[in-house]
Structure 1
Amino acid sequence: MNVFSLIGTVILVVLMLLPLRKKEHRTKTEIRKAIVRFAVVLGGITVIMVLGMGYFLALLVGVLVLILIDKKTYTKKRLLIYGSIILILGIGGYTVFRDNPTYVMNHLKKNPLTTSLYVTQNGEEVISYQSDIVRPLASTVKILIATEYAMQIGEGQLDKESMVTLDELKRYYFAGTDGGMHEAWLDSITSEGKIKNNAVTLQDVTKGMIVYSSNANTDYMIDLLGVDAINERAMTLGLTWHEEVYPIVGVSLIPSHIKTDGMNDKQLVQALKELPKDTYRSLAEELSAQLKAGTLDFEGAGADLSMDVQQVLSDRFIGATANDYGKLMAAISNDQLPPAATEVLRDLLEWPMEFNEGNKDRFTHLGMKGGNTVFVLTQALYAETLEGDKTEIVLLTDDLSDWQMGLLMRNLNSFVSKMIGDEDFRLTVQQNLTEK
């Protein structure tokens, strides 16, 4: 349960108990009603925390239970009213929350200034929609970092079985800057027994960057590989429009670093916007170095940034084109990289084949990495079916509202699935995105 859900629950409980503050309302009947309502709220909290039910659905179920246990409900008038409300909510809920892959297509079509889609199949470009526009990548950029890692493994510069201590990784960690992903990775490797003498393999560190999107692991890898080597690799691979990579945690520390006493949020936003690209990147590297050395002189950075500040950080995140990442995914899928590097990359990116056994009934290979900020949702993938058909898909979206983000995340998997396996759907998307 997130903080907003918790606040909403507390407010709901207070409103339920508020009538009892008056003595004349503290009758046995009203007290019993209050206890029942409180029990329903506690039950709702239980199903959210234990069963993982969505907060909105739990709220609807709770309201329905309260209606059903109220004796006044069972009159013709109230039954008609409540029945109509439930029917309207049911129809509305089905319309909004049903599996709807066309929502992604419609969002792309309606928002050409903030979206890109690049699709190839069996080496042929199928869709190139705004695919030459540089957009923020979010964590999808970690594919490039993983590629440089795989190349250095293949060249014998690194050993994927070398050990990295958790204490070393902790030097790159700053609480509140990756949505709890680093902790989730730590929980995973602990439960799988992969920690030996407080250390894990370099391959597992890199998997933490790809599968769990740990920013601490990412900045460790950037430092290990060398930021110049990563940026040079982008050019070598023909990623023409790829912006230079820099430490991700370091970026989230910039607002706290440049904020001065008395500076309000509007002034901070303006100051962030005015930082030249080179200065912005240098600050990210400098703050990352300070974090590693333990010499940062502020606390709580990145935890409570306003939406306006987060918008600037999102807009200024490392960018590239959908075309760039389409080339990269094709290079991996078509074994255009050295064999040793390809083997390492497939091990990193093809986690969906292990997480969902059903994928093995459909694909020989399925590799992907996505990313998101509050405003950005991105994904790059390659797929090879059991019949040998190969597809690469790169989707970049920006400037999303909460509503758009929720619906895109809900429908993205079904959109991708149909793009890979349904020729008619693929043709429909192609036609819709090429209409003038």
Structure 2
Amino acid sequence: MEIRKAIVTVAIVLGIIMAVLVFGIPYLLALLVGLLVFILSDEKTYTKNRLLIYGSIILLLGTGGYTVLRDNPEYVMKHLKNNPKTTSLYVAQNGEEVISYQADVVRPLASTVKILIATEYAMQIERGRLNKESVVSLDDLKHHYFERTDGGAHEAWLESMTNEGKIKNNKVKLHDVAKGMIVYSSNANTDYLINLLGTASINERAKALGLTQHEEVYPIVGALFIPSHIKTGGMNDKQLVQALKKLPMETYHSLAEELSNALKEGALDFGDAAADLSMDVQKIWSDRLIGATANDYGKLMASISNDELPLVATEVLRDLLEWPMEMNESNQDRFTHLGMKGGSTSFVLTQALYAETLEGDKTEIVLLTDNLSPREVKLMQRNLNSFVSKLIGDEEFRHSVQQQLLEE
């Protein structure tokens, strides 16, 4: 009997692992089904009291699972309405601003800032300063790769390059590096490009595009080394957080540049970062990420969608940003163009996109959220696509969002 129970338990656990890793079934759903199978396989389950107890547990878990797993665009709407101090939404259709909710407030962009970096990259190709067919050594990119700080993005990009046979003599094309920054959101590729393009050029590009409230760009990975750089012997985590908060932004930017250059030259080792960054320290890093307004990025997305940039630059940008058209072929049944880039940390979730339907209607949407809890991050991520999709294609829903946010 004990051997049988052990075999059943192991089989259920393996089944849950297979369901999640192989078939992509949500973890919570796989766990719930596994628990149900375990209960049903136990002969002691079939008594009145146990049936009542287990039935109640399954009902509670099922209700909770449905709440978490169901597609619910209204969740995003309610979060926006209930958190005006930490959220922004900008929506424009066919050149007309439809929703501007806290859209003039500067908030952290997270990886959405990579759209601006991609724009400067495209402009330098347009002007002949860069050749997208030139090659980049993977060793140069590795200098900027801080393990376990990008959610596996850089490793996923490298795996795709390997699978597609695009790595030759340990080198890849520059344009594939840019795609790794946008499609996979590799921070290593991002800091490499920031160094290549020059922060001054990127910041000037923001001004030239009329992004009046855009904060200055600085190396993302370089900033991760600031805590270990300023930490002195005997300084505890609370004191480190206070020291980081007191750093003027100008000093913070300079340190990020300095440390990024040290990484580039191989003069700084990732081991120097020592212990993992605490959540309090990560919060400082997240809060100090490059910021801008939803209005700024609505303007940037419109300039790309409306072909306001030079021809070559526009082609390069569309090739980088319109990955959803290739990754999800069903988008081709609805859109002529769909370009986007999102970003997230443990506290931030952002997204900027432009869309042009087969009927020729154009939409730009920018969503910026900050100070999220881990639960809120997950729920926002789960429901953001359906929220955005309904904003684009459902006039009644769009009007409802507009009215509810106007009331706020």
- The TM tier, using the shorter chain, reads over 0.9
Provide the secondary structure at the position in 2 that maps to 1:99: coil
1:311 corresponds to which of 266, 283, 289: 283
State how 1:124-203 maps to structure 2 within 5 Å: 124-203=96-175
Is residue 266 of structure 1 aligned with residue 244 of structure 2?
A: no
Closer/same/farther in 2, CA of residues 327 and 356 from structure 1, 3 Å limit: same
State how 1:23-172 maps to structure 2 within 5 Å: 29-30=1-2, 32-172=4-144
Provide the residue aligned with 1:216 in structure 2: 188
Provide the residue aligned with 1:244 in structure 2: 216
Moved more, 37-46 or 226-235: 37-46
Asked if the contact 1:241/1:321 (under 8 Å) is kept, the reply is yes
Provide the residue aligned with 1:430 in structure 2: 402
Moved more, 115-124 or 42-51: 42-51
CA deviation vs aligned residue, 1:375-430 (integer Å, no higher than 9, x gap): 00000000000000000000000000011111100000000000000000000000
State the 1:56 CA deviation. Answer: 2.4
Provide the residue aligned with 2:205 in structure 1: 233
Closer/same/farther in 2, CA of residues 270 and 82 from structure 1, 3 Å limit: same
Closer/same/farther in 2, CA of residues 222 and 42 from structure 1, 3 Å limit: same
Asked if the contact 1:136/1:318 (under 8 Å) is kept, the reply is yes
Report the AA paired with residue 269 of structure 1: V
Provide the secondary structure at the position in 2 that maps to 1:153: helix
Partners in 2 of 1:301 and 1:343 — Cα distance?
A: 40
Partners in 1 of 2:272 and 2:4 — Cα distance?
A: 45
1:363 corresponds to which of 318, 335, 355: 335
Report the AA paired with residue 311 of structure 1: K
Partners in 2 of 1:157 and 1:57 — Cα distance?
A: 51
CA deviation vs aligned residue, 1:203-233 (integer Å, no higher than 9, x gap): 1110000001111111111111111000000
Partners in 1 of 2:147 and 2:299 — Cα distance?
A: 35
Report the AA paired with residue 180 of structure 2: G
State the 1:276 CA deviation. Answer: 0.6
Provide the secondary structure at the position in 2 that maps to 1:379: strand
Asked if the contact 1:169/1:217 (under 8 Å) is kept, the reply is yes
State the 1:302 CA deviation. Answer: 7.9
Name structure 1 gaps, 5 residues minimum.
1-28
Provide the secondary structure at the position in 1 that maps to 2:129: coil
CA deviation vs aligned residue, 1:316-365 (integer Å, no higher than 9, x gap): 11100000000000000001111111010000000000000000000000
Partners in 1 of 2:249 and 2:149 — Cα distance?
A: 21
State the 1:54 CA deviation. Answer: 3.1
Partners in 2 of 1:88 and 1:374 — Cα distance?
A: 27
Provide the secondary structure at the position in 2 that maps to 1:383: strand
Provide the residue aligned with 1:400 in structure 2: 372
Asked if the contact 1:176/1:303 (under 8 Å) is kept, the reply is no
Report the AA paired with residue 326 of structure 1: G
Provide the secondary structure at the position in 1 that maps to 2:90: strand
Provide the secondary structure at the position in 1 that maps to 2:271: coil
Asked if the contact 2:32/2:62 (under 8 Å) is kept, the reply is no
Closer/same/farther in 2, CA of residues 267 and 406 from structure 1, 3 Å limit: same
Moved more, 159-168 or 220-229: 159-168
- RMSD of equivalent CA atoms: 1.6
Runs of 4+ residues deviating >4 angstroms: none
Partners in 1 of 2:310 and 2:286 — Cα distance?
A: 34
Report the AA paired with residue 107 of structure 1: H
Provide the residue aligned with 2:363 in structure 1: 391
* TM-score normalised per structure 2: 0.96
* TM-score normalised per structure 1: 0.90
Partners in 1 of 2:45 and 2:183 — Cα distance?
A: 50
State the 1:196 CA deviation. Answer: 2.2
1:290 corresponds to which of 262, 265, 274: 262
Report the AA paired with residue 186 of structure 1: L
Identical-residue share of aligned pairs (%): 76
Partners in 2 of 1:31 and 1:191 — Cα distance?
A: 43
State how 1:407-422 maps to structure 2 within 5 Å: 407-422=379-394
Provide the residue aligned with 1:3 in structure 2: none
Partners in 2 of 1:159 and 1:31 — Cα distance?
A: 65
Partners in 2 of 1:125 and 1:298 — Cα distance?
A: 45
Provide the secondary structure at the position in 1 that maps to 2:353: strand
Partners in 2 of 1:306 and 1:365 — Cα distance?
A: 41
Report the AA paired with residue 126 of structure 2: G
State the 1:373 CA deviation. Answer: 0.5
CA deviation vs aligned residue, 1:131-184 (integer Å, no higher than 9, x gap): 000000000000000000111111111111111121222222222332221111
2:310 corresponds to which of 333, 338, 342: 338
Provide the residue aligned with 1:328 in structure 2: 300
Structure (1 or 2) with the larger CA radius of gyration: 1
Moved more, 194-203 or 294-303: 294-303
Asked if the contact 1:177/1:302 (under 8 Å) is kept, the reply is no
Is residue 373 of structure 1 aligned with residue 345 of structure 2?
A: yes
Partners in 1 of 2:274 and 2:103 — Cα distance?
A: 31
